[in-house]
């Protein structure tokens, strides 16, 4: 981890700027931001543990307790909620027996309410480790959770060819490419419709 941390820090003219990717690096090893991870970041970046903790507790992508292999985020913001997000949340929460920011007993799934997945054109949207699952229903999301728990390869609606684990995604967010950035479509027809109309009208 020290070697990887040095590679991350070397990307920045001021080393404290490497804190966010270093916290992702810690999660890629420990599965969440542990006490030893906070101390590690503080030592590498010449910060206090209070400074590191202040950042780690501010952003929701940093987990302060063990996270599941897969984080399922159900958007329950206004548009997704009225399109079915609330029904998805209720069904999946009941099916898994967990609530917001809780993890199944097998350590496979952490469930989250998400304020906005920035994909309203495909509402209701669910994300799994930040990969999109568009136009979801309670049934499709329960099937998604069950497939992930069973160890099946699951393909998102857009983006990568399969959902990676939380630790694998955390390593990518730390700045270590996995060679999968160009897999799958990035935007669907609904996302591009406005651009198409603008081009047609000059």
Confidence (pLDDT) at 109: 98
**Distance in angstroms (rounded) separating the CA atoms of residues 129 and 167:** 10
Domain 70-164 is found in CATH 3.40.30.10: yes
Confidence (pLDDT) at 192: 86
Confidence (pLDDT) at 165: 97
Confidence (pLDDT) at 18: 98
Contact predicate 74/111, CB 8 Å: yes
Contact predicate 110/67, CB 8 Å: yes
Confidence (pLDDT) at 125: 95
Instruction: Grade residue 1 by pLDDT with cuts at 50, 70 and 90.
Output: very high
pLDDT at 184 over 80: no
Confidence (pLDDT) at 17: 97
**Distance in angstroms (rounded) separating the CA atoms of residues 117 and 138:** 17
For residue range 66-109, what is the model confidence (pLDDT) as tens digits? Answer: 999 999 999 999 999 999 999 999 999 999 999 999 999 999 99
For 125-129, 171-175, 194-198, which range has the lowest pLDDT when averaged over its residues?
A: 194-198
**Distance in angstroms (rounded) separating the CA atoms of residues 47 and 109:** 33
Average pLDDT in the 32-46 region? 97
Confidence (pLDDT) at 83: 94
pLDDT at 180 over 90: no
For residue range 131-176, what is the model confidence (pLDDT) as tens digits? Answer: 999 999 999 999 999 999 999 999 999 888 899 999 999 999 999 9
Q: How far is CA 182 from CA 4, 159, 178, 186, in A?
A: 24, 8, 10, 8
Contact predicate 93/109, CB 8 Å: no
Domain boundaries, the chain: 2-56, 70-164
Tokens of 9: 């820090």
Instruction: Grade residue 117 by pLDDT with cuts at 50, 70 and 90.
Output: confident
pTM for the full predicted model: 0.89
Question: Tokens 């030592």 — which residue?
Answer: 43
């Amino acid at each position: 981890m020290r070697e990887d941390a040095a590679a991350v820090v070397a990307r920045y003219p001021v080393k404290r700027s490497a804190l966010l990717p270093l916290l992702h690096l810690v999660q890629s090893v420990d599965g969440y931001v542990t006490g030893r991870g906070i101390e590690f970041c503080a030592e590498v970046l010449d910060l206090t543990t209070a400074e590191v903790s202040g950042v780690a507790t501010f952003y929701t992508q940093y987990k302060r307790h063990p996270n599941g292999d897969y984080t399922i985020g159900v958007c329950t913001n206004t548009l997704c909620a009225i399109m079915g997000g609330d029904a998805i949340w209720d069904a999946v929460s009941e099916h898994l027996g967990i609530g917001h920011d809780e993890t199944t007993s097998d350590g496979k799934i952490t469930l989250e309410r998400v304020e906005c997945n920035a994909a309203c054109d495909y509402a209701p949207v669910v994300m799994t480790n930040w990969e999109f699952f568009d136009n979801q229903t309670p049934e499709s999301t329960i099937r998604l959770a069950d497939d992930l728990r069973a160890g099946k390869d699951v393909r998102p609606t857009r983006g990568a060819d399969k959902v990676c684990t939380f630790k694998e995604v955390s390593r990518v967010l730390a700045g270590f490419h996995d060679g999968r950035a160009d897999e799958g479509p990035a935007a669907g027809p609904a996302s591009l419709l406005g651009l198409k109309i603008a081009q047609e009208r000059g």
